[in-house]
């Protein structure tokens, strides 16, 4: 077989692989919830007050997992996401069913890059406004050995979006989200604790196309302990993780058959370190167990202080 014939056979295979990579990346990235946003002390509402800060993160993906979790050869391809933005939260003294009422607003900016050197493909959306995260209902309860929060949130279709465009920073859809977050303390001084938070997202049809992304259930959790006794460098540290399962089909006339026929799944685990009396949180994750998704590593950072 001559070199030209080999090239003619290999390039279509690589092109098909790129389409598959982008489809799986797309299927996973169609979810608006920031995986890893919550970890330790997730169910513990802050004291009443107004808080402002920043959130940000990076997701590095260099593996592609097929529908059965098998690793799909993708060479040195990479699919990365970068985001950051201001965060404002408010906790009031208003009581609802015995819990404190609060609200949260995040305004993220995002950039997604795709690199596939073997096909000379390199694309970046460039940074732009993504979809707002608005939490109009946040209610927190404090018990002797546990804290619990209930949240209702929604993501309006802000951000740059055109069906089929390569520079989208929004997903062109509404999403409603309900969640229950909890923290359990194992000792009277509340130095040792675990948390679990469950989220369910309901996605609408995308603007300008007949495409409705399947809804996910996301679990975020953590186990750790407090450290420090001073007025500044004290906080908590431990292990945090998350799991996400797409539980309904992606459907619509514009959805390719192999995307409609598969659901995404991903898990992650890593360290969490929180300091400055809870003002600064850093989480790092290694992903595993992916199905019909990309897989790699992630970093989440949040800083918020009372104002």
Residue percentage of the chain with pLDDT more than 90: 70
Rounded to an integer, the average pLDDT of 53-57 is 96
Beta bridge partners of residue 224, listed in sequence order: 193, 238
Q: Is the pTM of this model over 0.85?
A: yes
Per-residue model confidence (pLDDT) at position 18:
47
Fold held by 3-306: Porin (2.40.160)
- In which residue are the tokens 């809804």 written? 215
Per-residue model confidence (pLDDT) at position 14:
40
Cα dihedral across residues 168, 172, 174, 175: positive or negative:
negative
How many H helices and E strands in the chain? 2, 16
Tokens of 273: 């370190």
Tell me the backbone φ, ψ of residue 11, rounded to 5 degrees.
Answer: -60, -45
pLDDT top residue among 31 and 283: 283
pLDDT > 90? residue 126: no
Rounded to an integer, the average pLDDT of 170-193 is 96
Residue extents of the structural domains in the chain: 3-306
Lowest mean pLDDT among 72-81, 213-222, 272-281: 72-81
CB distance 136 to 102 below 8 Å: no
Rounded to an integer, the average pLDDT of 190-197 is 97
C-alpha torsion angle, residues 226, 230, 231, 235 (rounded to 10): -20
Measuring CA to CA, how many Å separate 29 from each of 58, 69, 200, 220? 13, 17, 16, 17
Per-residue model confidence (pLDDT) at position 60:
92
Lowest mean pLDDT among 40-44, 50-54, 118-122, 207-211: 118-122
C-alpha torsion angle, residues 20, 22, 25, 28 (rounded to 10): -80
pLDDT > 70? residue 172: yes
**Short-list 47, 38, 66, 81, CA closest to 289:** 66
Lowest mean pLDDT among 152-161, 227-236, 250-259: 227-236
Beta bridge partners of residue 115, listed in sequence order: 78, 122
pLDDT > 70? residue 304: yes
Residue ranges in the chain assigned as alpha helix (H): 3-29, 257-260
Q: pLDDT confidence of 120, banded at 50, 70, 90?
A: low
């Amino acid at each position: 077989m001559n070199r030209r014939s080999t090239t003619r056979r290999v390039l279509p295979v690589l092109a098909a692989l790129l389409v598959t990579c982008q489809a799986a990346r797309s299927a996973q990235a169609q979810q608006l919830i920031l995986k890893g946003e919550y970890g330790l002390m997730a169910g513990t509402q802050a004291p009443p007050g107004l808080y402002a800060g920043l959130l940000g993160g990076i997701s590095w993906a260099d593996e592609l997992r097929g529908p059965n979790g098998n690793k799909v050869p993708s060479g040195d391809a990479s699919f990365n996401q970068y985001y950051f933005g201001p965060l404002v939260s408010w906790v009031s003294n208003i009581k609802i069913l015995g819990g404190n009422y609060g609200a949260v607003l995040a305004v993220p900016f995002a950039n997604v890059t795709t690199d596939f050197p073997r096909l000379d493909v390199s694309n970046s959306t460039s940074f732009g406004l993504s979809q707002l995260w608005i939490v109009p209902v946040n209610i927190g309860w404090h018990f002797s050995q546990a804290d619990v929060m209930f949240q209702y949130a929604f993501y309006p279709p802000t951000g740059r979006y055109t069906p089929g465009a390569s520079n989208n920073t929004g997903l062109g859809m509404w999403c409603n989200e309900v969640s229950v977050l909890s923290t359990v303390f194992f000792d009277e001084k509340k130095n040792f604790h675990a948390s679990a938070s469950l989220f369910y997202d309901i996605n609408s049809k995308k603007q300008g196309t007949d495409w409705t992304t399947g809804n996910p259930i996301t679990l975020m959790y953590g186990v750790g302990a407090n450290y420090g006794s001073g007025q500044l460098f004290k906080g908590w540290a431990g292990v945090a993780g998350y799991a996400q399962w797409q539980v309904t089909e992606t459907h619509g006339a514009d959805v390719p058959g192999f995307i409609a026929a598969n659901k995404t799944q991903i898990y992650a685990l890593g360290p969490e370190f929180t300091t400055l009396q809870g003002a600064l949180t850093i989480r790092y994750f290694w992903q595993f167990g992916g199905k019909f998704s990309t897989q790699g590593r992630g970093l989440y950072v949040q800083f918020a202080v009372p104002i």
